[in-house]
A = this chain, B = another copy of it.
Amino acid sequence: EIAAAAERLLGRRDLEGRRVVVTAGPTREPIDPVRFVSNPSTGKMGYAIARAARRRGAEVVLVSGPVSLEPPPGVKVVRVGAAEELARALLAEVDAADLVVAAAAVSDYRPKRPSDRKLKKSDGEESIVFTRTPDALLAAGERFAGRAGAPVLVGFAAETEDLVENARGKLARKRLDLVVANQVGAPGAGFGGDRNAVLLVEAAGTPREVAGTKDEVAEAILDRAVELLGAKRPRG
Contact = CB atoms under 8 A, between A and B. Distances in A.
Interface string A165-190: 00000000000000000001100000
Contact of A31 (B37, B68, B118, B131): B37
Contacts of A89: none
Contact of A128 (B33, B66, B124, B128): B128
Contacts of A28: 40
A144 interface: no
Interface in A46-92: 66, 68
Given A34-B39, A37-B31, A184-B34, A132 B127 contact: no
Contacts of A184: 33-34, 118
B132 A121 contact: yes
Give how many copies assemble into the complex: 2
A35 interface: yes
A159 B109 CA distance: 26
Contact of A158 (B34, B36, B129): B34
A117 B34 contact: no
Given A125-B112, A125-B131, A40 B31 contact: no
6 contacts: A34-B105, A37-B37, A68-B68, A109-B126, A117-B160, A118-B161
Interface of A: 28, 31, 33-40, 42, 66, 68, 105, 107-109, 112, 117-118, 121, 123-132, 158-161, 184-185, 191
Given A42-B68, A128-B128, 7 more contacts: A33-B160, A36-B39, A37-B37, A112-B125, A118-B161, A118-B184, A125-B129
